[in-house]
Amino acid sequence: MSSDPFQKPQKDFTETLNEQFVQIDELIKSNYREALDKLLLLEKQTRQASDGASSQRIMVKLVGALVENKDWELLNEQITLLSKKHGQLKDSIQVLIQEVLKNLDKITDLDTKINTIETIRVVTENKIFVEIERAHATKILSDILLKEKNNLDKACEVLSELQVETYASMELEDKISFILDQITLNNMKGDFQFSKILSRKILVRTLEKFANLKFRYYELVNEIALFEDDYENVVKYNMNIYSIPKVQGNLELSLKYLKTVAIFVVLTPFSNLQNDLISRVVIDKNLSKLPIEEELIKIFTTKELISWKSLESSLVSKLLSEEVFDQETEKGKLHLSDLKKRVTEFNLRVISIYYSTIKLDRLCELLELDQLQTENYIIELVNKGDLYAKINRPFKVVTFIKPKTENELLNEWSSDIDRLLESVETVEHLINKEEMIHGK
């Protein structure tokens, strides 16, 4: 196989082909087999003379003749033979494969089409100069397996085997689109772990150039986050979709994503990032168009205790109509359970602000929980570092004030002494001032 695309041809067959093609066109109508023999003879001559342009013309003519006569078996045979010819030009192989791909739609029999695609995949394997053509053929095969054969597993396996991120000749937009196709099939299959690995192949900053791909990317990774119950990422992904100009220009669509953001930001466990996200949602001008979600956000941003019984009767009953809280699904039940958990955690943080110590019985009453549940919530928040609390079981008292360390006490005493000395100095100055005034 010739590796030099700029190799100077030993002979120019342009005029020869112009003459021969007229005769071959007539011969194809009466005896196309004889026409093929002439084309193959010309192919050999142009190949040996390294006349790339003429060789490519012959490839186009050869594929056209075989397609016109629907001789698919011979077409597959010639694809294999021509690609293995000694000294074959890379550009000629590329043109051959491209022409076959263009004519795939003319193959009506599904199994024959699959056989031709597999032939292309075999001859293009491990050949960098036809990597794009191989990717194209693989995508077509995957679509056939999915839509015609209803074989999701095989379609996913075929498409996912390609590492298109390493294809130097493929355009960035095509790479991203291909990887998104891979993620789509793996999501459909339920292999979200592999989808997550694939999603990391896409640099988020590169999506800014392609709005449609950006929308599709965040939709797919949002599916992964929902499967993993990763509420924080669900919020971030939907906020990114919400910020896309195309979505902003469609009020109904933008409210759909804002509603998802508002619900899941409440379900997200407390953290600095969660606090920042909910603060951004509060000031969004479109939130007022979602009264239920607006009320929910308002409750979780006001430093007041939330009564779960009151919330359940007033707001939760309305939220149950949302798909997120559908009680006929496992996810819906989990989301409602997590909402109740977030209410309890929020109440504990509020209580820790207003109380330094509190009786355990009173705390249980405020949280509407029994003692064991209350203790478990306190332990969980303390372990996460969201709260300082110490339970004195013999006295049934909970303390929220963190004891000061030795260094903190020393610093406090030092500060008190400094203030005392400053006060003494001020008094001394005032006394001296009075003595001077009265001394006169």
Instruction: Classify residue 100: in a domain, yes or no.
Output: yes
Residue whose token pair is 């949280």: 367
Instruction: Classify residue 76: in a domain, yes or no.
Output: yes
Query: Which of these three, 96, 127, 158, is where a domain ends?
Result: 127
Q: In this predicted structure, what is the pLDDT of residue 7? A: 55
Quick one: tokens of 51? 């006349």
Instruction: Classify residue 279: in a domain, yes or no.
Output: no
Query: If you count them, how many residues does the chain have?
Result: 440
Q: In this predicted structure, what is the pLDDT of residue 27? A: 84
In the three-class reduction of DSSP (H, G, I as helix; E, B as strand; rest coil), residue 49 is classed as coil
> Distances in Å between the alpha carbon of 310 and those of 266, 316, 374?
17, 9, 19
Q: In this predicted structure, what is the pLDDT of residue 439? A: 66
Instruction: Classify residue 55: in a domain, yes or no.
Output: yes
Instruction: Classify residue 196: in a domain, yes or no.
Output: no
Quick one: tokens of 12? 């120019």
Sign of CA dihedral 337, 340, 344, 345: positive
Query: Which of these three, 83, 109, 127, is where a domain ends?
Result: 127
Instruction: Classify residue 185: in a domain, yes or no.
Output: no
Residues 6+ apart with CB under 8 A from 339: 266, 267, 316, 319, 325
Output the pTM of the full model.
Answer: 0.84
SS3 content of the chain, % helix, strand, coil (to 5): 75, 0, 20
Mean pLDDT per 10-residue segment, the chain (440 residues): 54 84 84 87 88 90 90 92 89 93 92 94 92 94 94 94 91 95 96 95 92 94 95 96 92 94 95 93 93 93 92 86 90 94 94 92 93 92 90 90 78 84 89 78
Instruction: Classify residue 385: in a domain, yes or no.
Output: no
DSSP code for 357: E
Count of structural domains, the chain: 2
Tell me the chain's radius of gyration from C-alpha atoms: 37
Compute the distance between CA of residue 188 and CA of residue 171 in angstroms, rounded to an integer: 26
Compute the distance between CA of residue 113 and CA of residue 119 in angstroms, rounded to an integer: 10
Q: Which helix (H) or strand (E) holds 397?
A: strand 397-399
Q: In this predicted structure, what is the pLDDT of residue 279? A: 94
In the three-class reduction of DSSP (H, G, I as helix; E, B as strand; rest coil), residue 6 is classed as coil
DSSP code for 104: G
Q: In this predicted structure, what is the pLDDT of residue 375? A: 92
Q: Which helix (H) or strand (E) holds 391?
A: strand 390-392
| Structural domain boundaries, residue 434 | 407-439
Quick one: tokens of 159? 């498409």
Residue 292 and residue 318 in contact, taking contact as beta carbons nearer than 8 Å? yes
Q: In this predicted structure, what is the pLDDT of residue 33? A: 87
Instruction: Classify residue 43: in a domain, yes or no.
Output: yes
Query: Which of these three, 110, 127, 144, is where a domain ends?
Result: 127
Residue 386 and residue 355 in contact, taking contact as beta carbons nearer than 8 Å? no
Residue whose token pair is 């963190």: 402
DSSP string, 214-261: HHHHHHHHHHHHHHTT-HHHHHHHHHHHHTSHHHHT-HHHHHHHHHHH
Q: Pick left, alpha or beta for residue 326 (phi over 0 → left; psi -120 to 50 → alpha; otherwise beta).
A: beta
Compute the distance between CA of residue 387 and CA of residue 355 in angstroms, rounded to an integer: 13
